[in-house]
Amino acid sequence: MKKKKLNLRDLNKTSSDNHKRNDGHNQSNLEKLGNFRTYLPAIFSFVMLIAGIAFDYFDAFPFFKGWVRIAWYAVAYIPVGFPVIKEGWESIKDGDFFTEFFLMSIATLGAFAIGEYPEGVAVMLFYAVGELFQNAAVKRAKGNIKALLDVRPNEAMVYRNGDYVSVNPETVQIGEKIQVRVGEKIPLDGKLLSEKASVNTAAITGESKPDTIAKGEKVFAGSINLDGVIEIETTKEFKDSSIARILDMVQNATARKSKTELFIRKFARIYTPIVVFLAVCLTFLPYFFVDGYVFQDWLYRALIFLVISCPCALVISIPLGYFGGLGAASRNGILFKGASFLDAVTQVNTVVMDKTGTVTHGVFKIKNAVVNNGALSEAEMMKYLMAMEEQSTHPIAKAILEYKADGSHYGATNVSEVAGKGLKGMVNGKTVLVGNKALMTSNGIEVPSKTDAIVESIVMVAIDGKFAGYVTIADELKEDAHLAIKQIRDAGISKIIMLSGDKDSITQQVAKELNIDWAKGGLLPEDKLDEVETLKKRPDSKIAFIGDGINDAPVLAISDVGIAMGGLGSDVAIETADVIIQTDQPSKIARAIKIGRSTRRIVWQNIGLAFGVKIIVMILGAMGMATMWEAVFADVGVAFLAILNAIRLQKMKWD
């Protein structure tokens, strides 16, 4: 049971709320008590085993003989042995004979049958302890994944019947107005009605830097309001909010097994009956080939063989490694839709990326303002330009209007649009033309030839029939774009390609600036699809495509690994891509590859460790050179080391 979490508002509530807090505290104590009870059978068996071994060793207790000794070790065995035997019996009833529970039951009961009581108890005790460690580690790994995104608020203050009332977020409808106080989580996706808001999106993106949201902009469920009471109009139901869908995706990711995981599970089902058959052969076949055959000696060797062959270390530590990888990625703002994609990303050798929204912000900005021959100042020219652009709704006009001009603003009159060319109007009694070169030429205005070499979008200005200057408009590179390309190369990716719907000249310029191997612009979504399909036909080609998750959905779907710059609300990204970069930072691409490789490396280390140790001890046991004590310590030790190795993923850093 989860302890109730409190926010600042809870501190001022009534004694009824205090009672609830006490209930939460009591629940926490009950949880701790439950955890202790889980370990109690193993503790009891351990104490009984140590006492029994002491009685045997010191030989100072004459009563510890015969049936008393057998009963003592039987009592020590039952708390840890009975659950395993029961589980084995249930599996047999379900038609699954050869499980690790069956192996451990046969091995330990066999040890009792030949009089090796302490070893029988020890084998089952250490197996039970190993299972407890494994279950605790898996629980922690799953808990870490869930805790990363389990930030769904449990209440929403919604405006109904003239007042704000607290309701379950699932009951809030689209278009209703909600209020969020300082320190509270935003319960649903919506648009901000207040003038501004400062929110912490760390629970969703992994980035702790606060974001400032302006009136009318989107806000997302799971973010924390940092400054003042804000009001929001909901745009999605709770079940469709970005945080609810992302949480569902991450939880379901653990169900999508990797090929390695699926192989090991299938292998264990074949491997276990083979081991049982070999143990039977090891018991009886020596009768025909060995002089002085002693059944009890060879049975003991077979029991050692069974103990060490138990596949539990493999079956548990491998999924635990993938849990660790998924959790580590989520903490870094990277969501893998399944363990299979952790494997797939390690095989990528070609990265294909979109431009707009992937390595650029997708927002126009003034890059340069140039005045012709000093006819007037830059600020003066910009005032004329801004006066005209105030009459336009074009995205380029919005970028121009962000220019900070000192002094009073000019006003434009008689503004008319010249289709496909620009605007014509009057400012301060002067005729002003604003637009492309075609507009200037059609009005007999001479344009400097140097403008022909400009690849960015260009807006020219003419005042009273004379060329006044121009501004260039460009989409800004993301702050970490250069770093992203460098890190992708450092990660061993041999080829980086850019495919964009933007003008080819702009695409080539961006590709050159970022040192990208090959680029092509002016592409429609279907053109991008054709290009990637052509690349996939190359032998040994494994392609990751990175896009914004909207126009690039078809390419994301057919790539070996589709990586979406999902941001905080891209529905198409969540639906289509295999991997989602929540922060929209391209530098996270290389980190995703590194996390996948670290996960795969640890999984294969565990496989090698488990098989290596088991084969050595199995051979030694069959030759009579290892006892059951060594077998159980080798088995439990391997499992424990594999768990510790898998847990390392949750502590690693990838810079």
Give mean pLDDT, residues 595-613: 89
Q: What is the rounded CA–CA span in Å between residue 241 and residue 181?
A: 19
**pLDDT for the residue numbered 79:** 94
Nearest to 325 by CA among 4, 3, 1, 645: 645
Give mean pLDDT, residues 247-274: 64
**pLDDT for the residue numbered 365:** 84
pLDDT at 105 exceeding the cut of 70 = yes
**pLDDT for the residue numbered 573:** 59
Q: Burial of 27 by CB count in 10 Å (0-12 exposed, 13-18 middle, 19+ buried)?
A: middle
311-336 pLDDT, tens digit each: 666 666 677 788 788 888 888 888 88
**pLDDT for the residue numbered 104:** 77
**pLDDT for the residue numbered 134:** 62
511-567 pLDDT, tens digit each: 999 999 999 988 877 888 899 999 998 888 899 999 875 567 788 888 899 898 876
pLDDT at 599 exceeding the cut of 60 = yes
- What is the average pLDDT score of the chain? 81
**Considering the entire predicted model, what is its pTM?**
0.67
**pLDDT for the residue numbered 103:** 74
pLDDT at 577 exceeding the cut of 90 = no
pLDDT at 201 exceeding the cut of 80 = no
Rg, the chain, Cα only: 34
Sheet holding 466-477, edge to edge: 360-371, 466-477, 457-463, 430-435, 422-427, 412-418
Q: Name the catalytic one among 227, 297, 343, 354.
A: 354
pLDDT at 616 exceeding the cut of 90 = no
Pairing of strands 561-564, 543-547: parallel
What's the distance, CA 212 to chain centroid?
25
Give mean pLDDT, residues 401-426: 85
* 235 dihedral zone (left: phi>0; alpha: psi -120 to 50; beta): alpha
pLDDT at 164 exceeding the cut of 50 = yes
Judged by average pLDDT, the poorest of 23-32, 146-155, 350-359, 517-526 is 23-32
Torsion of Cα atoms, 628 then 634 then 635 then 638, to 10°: 180
pLDDT at 15 exceeding the cut of 50 = no
Judged by average pLDDT, the poorest of 178-192, 214-228, 625-639 is 625-639
Q: Is 452 assigned a catalytic role?
A: no
**pLDDT for the residue numbered 205:** 58
**pLDDT for the residue numbered 265:** 63
pLDDT at 254 exceeding the cut of 60 = no
* CB contact at 8 A, 63 and 146: no
pLDDT at 14 exceeding the cut of 50 = no
